[in-house]
Amino acid sequence: MPRVGIYDADAGQLPFRLESDDAKRPTSGRHIVEVHPAVAIWLWCRWRREANDSCFYKTDPHVRTDVWESLLRVRSVRSVLSRVRAVPPTSDDELDARVAYALGRLWLDEPESVVLLGSADAGAFLVPRVAGIVEAFHAFIK
């Protein structure tokens, strides 16, 4: 987590806590988690799209629209994003922001659909819970 400006302080002095343990999901207070929207998009859409073409959502508006439609086919994602703003995003930044929001909202409301993968030592970020991802991460760390 970058510590700049007023947040250039020890973790204990910050007005929020960086979470890195999936088993200790917060229920109150101020907490933040790291997310990587492009990784989440790939994990959620990889079965619905050509292997690499979803990577171009930042440069091709047609791909961004297709990715949006693919995301809305994922039940858990659709349940969050359709409540927030159902129209297609007009920029890659807007798509990234919506996916980041969906990851956080799902971690709180449907924790079985996402996982905070990692640790305080290795770093951690929210990703869609797909088959084998936790085991693959642990094998990578070893």
Give residue-wise pLDDT tens across range 59-82: 777 888 888 888 998 999 998 988
- 61, 97, 50, 101: which is closest to 79 by C-alpha? 101
Average pLDDT, integer, range 91-111: 93
Residue 121 has pLDDT above 70, yes or no: yes
pLDDT more than 90, % of the chain: 37
Name the DSSP letter for residue 121: T
The C-alpha atoms of residue 132 and residue 32 are separated, in whole angstroms, by: 25
Least confident range from 27-31, 59-63, 127-131: namely 59-63
* Distance spanning both ends of the chain, measured CA to CA: 23
SS3 at position 91: coil
> Mean pLDDT for the chain?
85
Helices (H) and strands (E) in the chain, counts: 5, 4
